[in-house]
Structure 1
């Protein structure tokens, strides 16, 4: 099977006739066509490079200019298609979204006094991938991926995933944030609210990479830390952050 491994047990979601399996199959089968088109584009780049050199009376260097521009065009074409395939890695099961987002959060937030706890749940209830506690407040972050052609948008305050309403996605995470906040407030005596977010690893977001609706923020993974840092600081002091973090580590079950 495309992308398979005899050493890793396959998830049924990514095998058989799943959209992920067909996407990877067609991608690999289309490789000869992509190479052929790349050669054509590189050839056009070569001709343009030669023409530019001749235009500026650089006759002796025209082949070099042609090769240079042709190489740039071919490299840019390869990079574009590589990125379009790479950005589906989480959706295809080739990478784990929680690992990507967790690394991004720690790299950007730890030095600013934020604590990042991974894989937490209220015993017997919903779980989340990341809980962030810091000077700007608290956030829970889940990781999700949708088909590469699914547009994620908000119209009149309602979330949409393609043609489907997003309430079934938003409501459980909003309720989980409320439950986490209630538990931490009760156990610490520090009144807190928790803002829920979803790091979207595959799917079509607006150009700014952020969609807000129904109490939920959906955004590109690389923007999660940036949005948190943009929040008002001094919502919590160092003692409150430490208390909330220790309480969350004790009261919230690892998953």
Structure 2
């Protein structure tokens, strides 16, 4: 379509009538009401604090109250940024892992394909274990909770989501263990972007759910194994070879061809070159030189 941005092409979040578009429209409509409420609160603080203390204190209190109200609403709006853009939060989690665990001896692999399953957003290999990280973004008013050990989103179970993530982690665990040559435990976790969490982190269907920073903190405080720095590198290499990018499986490079000529077997017959006289005779007669066995 003429005038359509190539960066948002195909995203349902930017089409009319989508939940994201409706949320954005309602937020813009409520702007005047938010400003009106903020002004009333600031004016009330100015009058009350000015009468009880002095005018300067009243002005300071009004400014602080208005700033706090603006900060609260900005945080609410910013929390839905990933969902409003129609994304799942992969780029945000990549940046979070790079600035946290990536600087503390962990190896982070991005976008690895688990054969027969969906792509693993991030695979984190560290001294405390291996985690397969999945990202999901929900609307700001979506209630995310667990009841009886099962995940519920707005009162509905998420069997497909948790089943796919669990199977993906199990397949990655099997492939990495085979390549590494020893058992490696891969723990599935889910980074929650947006939504309303009753508490975080929490465990449901064997998966830990939490916002990005809290999930990183949980991974550091709840190790599932003990790996040395050498083992971390070896497991990461095994994951690189067994979990390809875009379906391309890495294989070990063949050894380079030897530049030294192979020696003939000890029992192989040796042939001697023609004697100079035989070469001369052959050239004189126009025929081939004859070689004789030693």
TM over 0.5: yes
Q: In the alignment, is residue 241 of structure 1 matched against residue 240 of structure 2? A: no
Match of 2:140, SS state, is coil
Q: Secondary structure at the match of 2:146?
A: strand
Task: Tell me: higher relative CO, structure 1 or 2? Use CA pairs within 8 A at least 6 residues apart.
Answer: 1
Look up the match of 1:226.
217
* Distance in 2 (alpha carbons) for counterparts of 1:39 and 1:94: 33
CA contact (8 A) 1:128 1:141 kept: yes
Q: How far is the alpha carbon of 1:110 from its aligned partner?
A: 2.5
Deviation at 1:234? Answer: 6.0
Does the CA-based 8 Å contact 1:105-1:224 persist in structure 2?
no
Distance in 2 separating the partners of 1:12 and 1:19: 9
Structure 2 unaligned segments of length 5 or more: list them. Answer: 247-294
Match of 1:57 in 2: none
Find the partner of 2:179 among 184, 187, 192.
187
- Deviates most, 196-205 or 239-248: 239-248
2:285 aligns with: none
Residues 1:253 and 2:244 aligned together: yes
2:96 is matched with 104
Distance, in Å, in 1 between the alignment partners of 2:61 and 2:221 is 41
1:237 shift after superposition:
1.8
The 5 A counterparts of 1:103-122 are: 103-122=95-114
Instruction: Name the CA shift for 1:94/1:47 in 2 (closer, same or farther; >3 Å).
Output: farther
Q: Deviations over 1:3-62 (max 9, x none)?
A: x98463341233211111000011012111111111111111112221331xxxxxxxx1
Distance change >3 Å, CA 138–CA 99, structure 1 → 2:
same
Runs of 4+ in 1 over 6 A off after TM superposition: none
Distance 1:31 1:52 in 2: 32
Say which is worse superposed, 157-166 or 44-53, in terms of deviation: 44-53
1:48 and 2:48 aligned? yes
Q: Is the 8 A contact 1:46 1:66 kept in 2?
A: yes
SS at match of 2:138: coil
* Residue 177 (structure 1) aligned with residue 164 (structure 2): no
Q: How many residues get paired?
A: 243
Q: How does 1:124-163 map to 2 (within 5 A)?
A: 124-163=116-155
Say which SS state the counterpart of residue 135 (structure 2) adopts. strand
User: Which blocks of at least 5 consecutive residues in structure 1 are unaligned?
Assistant: 54-61
Give the corresponding residue for 1:63: 55
SS at match of 1:190: coil
Q: Tell me the TM-score normalised to structure 1 length.
A: 0.89
Distance 1:69 1:5 in 2: 47
Alignment root-mean-square deviation, CA: 1.9
TM-score w.r.t. the length of structure 2 is 0.78
Bigger Rg, structure 1 or 2: 2
